[in-house]
Amino acid sequence: MKNNWPLLNFAELKDTVATVQLFTQIVGKIRLVKMPWLNHSWHVTLYVSATGLTTGSIPYNDGSFQIDFDFINHQLIISSSAGKREQFELKNQSVASFYETVFQKLKLMGIDVTIYPKPNELDHDTPFYEDKAHSTYNPQQINLFWQALVKIDNVFTRFRAGFKGKCSPVHFFWGAFDLAVTRFSGRPAPKHPGGAPNMPDDVMQEAYSHEVSSCGFWPGSEAFPNPAFYAYCYPTPDSFGSQLVKPAEAFYSKEMGEFFLLYDDVRKADDPEKYLLEFLQTTYDAAANTGNWDRHALECDFTGYEKRRYTILIIF
């Protein structure tokens, strides 16, 4: 197979990620206040699109609007069902400047929105309208990151299809700046302790109100300067971390209580999609087996349906 997964270098990516994460928090909070509350905060997320990240359709008055990050042409685009459209260039600019411009454009479109103007799940809580420290936007680096998200989103979507129990969409959380998909056993979970920075405990507790097996992709941090895949479960059985998972490069962090697989190991694999699916499946196996999930009732395999559909398409 031709391997065309992009190279991600944390040192080159980190400043742009730090700025764009705050951009996405502003846009995500607009979606948050205009959407009905969905379980586990699913109403706040963004989604990978053919050009970048999108809010998808947001209800407003008797119509809708959406906001798109275009990481090909490097534009933020706001469009509405009323036929209105505003956009501006994504470039080196402070978070304060981005915040001001977004709300100017919304006002021009007749969209009235007020958000809580501070970041969540970050160690700092500088109001967006005061933040001039974060201002790096490297078009090449954010484009590479988005190209990786496209590849990963496709694999996560395939993995999600193997589960008929309750399962989240494949969605992008702007709080931690990660792409994730979560499976549920269907059983209530013990009350979560909370503890995420600048995040109300009751939001975390509702997010983890039921047993989960979750996996995702994250661009890394100063403490862990490597883009990586992760997998965890809540609650976490004592034997979860000792389960055998694949591929061999995957490892368990006792400190974090999660399995990890470096993005670069996936990128270098002969078949990155198969390599990543192996990690997703075996870490889910670890969670489901140690948590005594009813796997027969929750799992599915629609391979036969896909083959029949393909045959019908060929015939016609």
Coil, helix or strand for 279? helix
Residue 1, pLDDT score: 44
Q: What are 41's two structure tokens? A: 């905060």
What lies within 8 Å, CB to CB, of 161 at 6+ separation is 300, 302
Q: What whole-number distance in Å separates Cα of residue 149 and Cα of residue 141?
A: 13
Confirm if 192 and 222 have CB atoms less than 8 A apart: no
Please provide residue 152's backbone torsions phi and psi, each rounded to the nearest 5 degrees.
Answer: -70, -40
What's the pLDDT score for residue 302? 80
Residues paired with 213 in a beta bridge = 183, 233
Question: What's residue 304's pLDDT?
Answer: 63
CA distance 260 to 250: 6
Strands 228-234 and 251-253: unpaired
Structure tokens at 120: 């969540």
For residues 145 and 71, what is the distance between their CA atoms, to the nearest angstrom?
9
Cis ω for the linkage preceding 235 (within 30 of 0): yes
Structure tokens at 314: 């060929």
In angstroms, what is the C-alpha Rg of the chain? 20
Question: What 3-state DSSP class applies to 301?
Answer: coil
Question: Tokens 């001001």 belong to which residue?
Answer: 100
Q: Are 189 and 211 in contact (CB under 8 A)?
A: yes
CB burial class (10 A; 0-12, 13-18, 19+) of residue 314?
Answer: exposed
Find the helix or strand (DSSP H, E) in which 15 lies: helix 10-34
Q: Which residue has the tokens 């906001």?
A: 67
Q: Distances from the Cα of 164 to the Cαs of 90, 153, 182, 215, 242, in angstroms? A: 39, 19, 12, 17, 27
Alpha helix (H) residue ranges in 91-200 = 95-108, 139-160
Least Cα distance to 10 among 153, 243, 177 occurs for 177
pLDDT tens by residue, the chain, 316 residues: 457 999 999 999 999 999 999 999 999 999 999 999 999 999 999 999 999 999 999 999 999 999 999 999 999 999 999 999 999 999 999 999 999 999 999 999 999 999 999 999 999 999 999 999 999 999 999 999 999 999 999 999 999 999 999 999 999 999 999 999 999 999 999 999 999 999 999 999 999 999 999 999 999 999 999 999 999 999 999 999 999 999 999 999 999 999 999 999 999 999 999 999 999 999 999 999 999 999 999 999 986 656 566 555 566 5
With tokens 């509702």, the residue in question is: 206
